[in-house]
Amino acid sequence: MKKLMVGVVMMMSVMANAQSDAIIKFFSKYQNDESFSQVTISGKMFSMMANLDGNTPEEKTMISAISKIKGLKILKKDDTRISRELYKEAMAMIPSGEFEELMTIRDKDKDMKFFTKESGGKISELVMVMGGNDEFLVLTLFGEIDLKEMGKIGRSVNIDGLQNLDKLKDKHKDEKKKN
C-alpha cells in the first residue's frame, strides 16, 4: 500500500509539472523554422540560478521564486504578414477545459491573452499569446508560479510579456474571490 501511495504521489507531481500537450505540439511545429526566434530555459538553468546567494530580501525572494520554475519557452516571429493567423492557430490549441483565461489586452494593433493552468490550488503553467499586425509571440512558463514574483523577474530581465504578470496577480485574486 505504501508503494502504491508513493507511486501515485510521484505521478501526480509529474503531471503537475508537465506542460500541456497542445502547447508542446505548437512549439514543436515551429521550433525548427528559422524565421522564428526561440528561447528555451530548462529547469536545470533555473535550479542553477536558485543556487545564487541573495544579498537583499528582494533578491532572496526572487531566487526563491526562480527555484520553483521548471522551464520557460518563448517562440517569436517579427516582421511577418501571418501574425494574426499564428495567433488564431495558437489560441485554437489551448484546451479550454485545461486552462483558464485570466486577462486580455488589446493595444492598438496587438492582442494579448494570458491563461493559467492550476494544479492543487497553485498555478502550474502560464501561457501568453500575443498577435499583432506584424509580430507574434507565444510564451509558456511552467512550474510553481507566483504571478507577482514572476512580474518582478520579468521586469528585471526584460523578457517580453513577463513584465505584465504582476498585473495578473490582482486579476487572479479577484477571480478566486468570485468562485
pTM, two decimal places: 0.72
DSSP β-ladder status, 136-145 and 37-42: unpaired
Cα distances from 160 to residues 39, 75, 121, 173, in angstroms, run: 11, 11, 27, 23
Q: In a structure prediction context, what are the per-residue pLDDT tens digits for the chain, which is 179 residues long?
A: 333 333 333 333 333 344 567 788 889 999 899 999 999 999 888 888 878 887 888 778 778 888 888 999 999 999 999 999 999 999 999 988 889 999 999 988 899 999 999 887 788 999 999 999 999 999 999 998 877 776 666 666 555 555 555 555 555 555 555 55
Residues 6+ apart with CB under 8 A from 42: 71
The phi and psi torsions of 141 (rounded to 5 degrees) equal -125, 125
User: What letter represents residue 54's amino acid?
Assistant: G
The residue whose grid cell reads 518582478 is: 152
Q: Find the radius of gyration of the CA atoms of the chain.
A: 17
